[in-house]
Amino acid sequence: MKSEVTGEVNGEGGRPPYGAVALIAAAALAYEVLLTRLFAIVQWHHFASMMISVAMLGWGAAGTLVAIARAPLLAAHRLAFTAAAVLFGLSAIGGFLAAQAVAFNPLEALWDARQFLRLGVVYLCLWVPFLGAALALCVAFSRFGHTAPRLYAADILGAGLGALGVIVLLAALPPPWALLVTAALGLIAAALAWGWRSRAGLALIALALATAGLPVRWVALEPLPYKDLAQWLNVVGTRVLAERSGPLGTITVLDSPQVPLRHAPGLSLTAREPPPQLAVFIDGNGPLPVPRFDGDLAPLAYLDGLTSAAPYHLLRRPRVLILGAGTGEAVLQALYHGAHSVDAVEVNAQLIDLIEHTLAHYSGRPYSRPGVRVHVAEARAFVAASRARYDLIQLIADTGGHAAGLGALAEGYAYTVQAVSAYLERLAPGGLLALTRPVDLPPRDLVKLAAAAIAALQARGVSDPGAHLALLRSWRTGTLLVARDPFTPQRLQSLRAFCLTRGFDLDWSPDLNASEVNRYNRLDRPYFYEAILALLGPQRQAFIDRYKYRIAPATDDQPFHTHFFKWASLPEWWALRARGGVALMEWGYPILVATLVQALLLALLLILAPLAVSRRPLPRVGRLRVLTYFGLLGLAFMAMEIAFIHRFQLFLGHPLYAVATVLAGFLIFAGLGSRLSERFSAPPERIVAATAAAIALIALLHLWLLPEVFRQAAAWPEAARIVLTLGLIAPLALAMGMPFPLGLRRLAETQTAFLPWAWGINASLSVVAALLALWLAMHLGFAAVIGLAALGYLLAAACFPKTG
């Protein structure tokens, strides 16, 4: 039968589906980035590395399927492309809903080993859409190989636009609706491939429009029942007062007229009762309180009963910088204590707008009070760009604590050694840095933070860092004070008086005696005092090494402040599991390891095993060189990409921006590099050797120059920073895009039997590398990952397949 559009007969001939290729590539990349937002809402973390790994598993499995069933797929290539795109469109919704229905709960992994099996099922549910998108693209490239450069251009252009376009989509639509639109794009791609003017094409377009218009409640997100928002909604009479959604998070505001909401972690038992509050949650995490404020400061007296109020009793009318101002409670605390001026920094503009406008009648518009200036910026970026000096810099974390250590995978650039150094640089003479964190037992968070402060002070040339530190603790929170200059006796006396009248423990000050600690909120031992004493002593490293948790200070290269897991402590915790000891294990890191193992097993099962049992045996001659070359390329490319995503998160201010921008940059410019490789007339092995050397050199330059570039451009507008990021990635990605197609060209010329295996081993190790890179970074740092990736390219060049 003849096609109404292309003139194809029995699926043969026809024009390459450039539009369909671009659209399915855009949809797949948008879906990949969107999953990080969806998982941040329904789970505890965005799991960006897992999403990239799942996507690569789809690509690898699709390549294997085309290699095995090439003849029938190409004989009906138009039908195959269309069906694969439809599979993506339907499973993008169905796969995510199925993953939600699996009810994987990382918290239950503490006592239920079946959760790890459920994690594998989630992996497979999310894999199906990527299999469909990748299969469509593989069929197009296999059928229209003679137009590969143009097809590749359509592919990378679509993928880049999809990765960046999803940010715009999330700015306009809630995540569930963005999911529907992304799925609809896949169905429109299917219509373009089949012929949109045909009856089937028009039916697919109608299906796409119907999909985009589905009721959002049909794809409603179902956060884990143990997330903070779900728990607070169990309070009788609690209701959702307002909700906002954007790229940086879904904001939910709760009110409870029947059972008044009160949230002031660590509040002194001698303090006044807080006024009525609203509770704000971001991606289901929180709450961030919004106290009722009508301009009268008197009801805010409770804010003087928090550990974060301590620095206001040591300073007179300070100029205050609040980093991560959130709902404005810290601003009100500063105003209550008579601050001269307040600079409030908050990255989420929607949150500020909510407080200042939607909830203005309740919040009293704290950001519009006299003397208050609000800045929409990421904390580190603002500090790097600012030239102002402050008497007090406040950073108050979410003091709700950690969910069984699941935050271990999240970067904490606000609490690294370099961050503390940057904060101290902005203090005026006599200024204080106040860092408030949750108290966890056994102690780890505040101990690790103290280690970072000590390292930062020593980096500034302070010979006695203990004279610059003070730590006070309530029953739930602790505040670490870091002074620009040594604490004076008068300030220490004021701090003692503050703690005494509020029942707070003073766990460290320069003149503290062991007999003075652990008085009010008593522990078995004065753990915090002993820890800081050891960190200040000559055996610091020995103490860090033998401590039951990982408390080595976080750095910008290893920014995992809440990564505390230690394998050496696992036997002890596991032995105590019957008495609740498993809850001490900090499970974020083991879940990463479990996901890494599952990724390896699934890559073997879905990519390499089908090739092994098919009639495509692996040739013996030269196989070691071929498998090593393409395997190293898979490991090196993905490791470099993951490392850059995490390094640029500090610069771009949010994981979503980093994932979208870096993925787009690597895809676009690596694709251009692939095209550029066709223009060289030199022998492929020489080109690969030259590009490998260029990759190593550019990677080293990045390690050397990026920190200074980030510092200089920190104050640039968001769009300008995204453009700069793409420009910084371009030279490296161009070079990285050349070795793989050059290797395939050599095999196509001399050893075609290796082609499916080359694709398979490359994709399999890419699946693993997406998670392996994060695991390595947690141990060695992202600089080491970049260095190892560059070394991988150099080793790959030495294994370039020979002719014959």
Tell me the pLDDT band of 352, cut-offs 50, 70 and 90.
very high
pLDDT number for residue 133:
94
Tell me the pLDDT band of 202, cut-offs 50, 70 and 90.
very high
Q: pLDDT of 669-700, one tens digit each?
A: 988 888 888 788 888 899 999 999 999 999 99
pLDDT number for residue 10:
34
Higher pLDDT, 615 or 468: 468
pLDDT number for residue 581:
59
Tell me the pLDDT band of 398, cut-offs 50, 70 and 90.
low
This model's pTM is above 0.95: no
Residue with tokens 């740092």: 781
Q: Residue 358 and residue 348: Cα distance in Å, rounded? A: 15
Residue with tokens 């603002």: 382
Mean pLDDT lowest for which of 120-129, 394-403, 601-610? 394-403
Q: Which amino acid is at 335?
A: L
pLDDT at 426 over 70: yes
- Please give the angle made by the CA atoms of 734, 672 and 640, to the nearest 5 degrees: 35
- Strands across the sheet with 249-255, in order? 239-246, 249-255, 277-282, 285-291
Q: pLDDT of 599-649, one tens digit each?
A: 889 888 888 888 888 766 666 656 788 889 999 999 999 999 999 998 998
pLDDT at 540 over 90: yes
Q: Residue 493 and residue 512: Cα distance in Å, rounded? A: 11
pLDDT at 667 over 50: yes
Q: What is the percent of the chain where pLDDT is above 70?
A: 92
Tell me the pLDDT band of 656, cut-offs 50, 70 and 90.
confident
pLDDT number for residue 535:
97
Give helix then strand counts, H and E, for the chain: 28, 12
Residue with tokens 């030279």: 731
pLDDT at 145 over 80: no
| Other beta carbons within 10 Å of 500 | 12
How high does pLDDT run on average in the chain? 88
Q: pLDDT of 292-304, one tens digit each?
A: 999 999 999 999 9
Q: pLDDT of 86-122, one tens digit each?
A: 999 999 999 999 998 887 877 676 677 788 888 889 8
pLDDT number for residue 733:
94
pLDDT number for residue 566:
86
Range 518-544 average pLDDT: 94
Range 232-245 average pLDDT: 91
Q: Tell me if the bond preceding 287 is cis, omega within 30° of 0.
A: yes
Range 776-781 average pLDDT: 90
Kindly list the structural domains of the chain, giving each domain's residue range(s) and its CATH number in brackets, ordered by start: 1-224 (1.20.1250), 311-562 (3.40.50.150)
Q: Which amino acid is at 680?
A: F
- Strands across the sheet with 477-483, in order? 372-376, 341-346, 319-323, 390-396, 427-438, 477-483, 469-473, 505-508
Q: Residue 236 and residue 226: Cα distance in Å, rounded? A: 17
Strands 469-473 and 477-483: antiparallel
pLDDT number for residue 674:
84
DSSP H or E segment with residue 768? helix 755-780
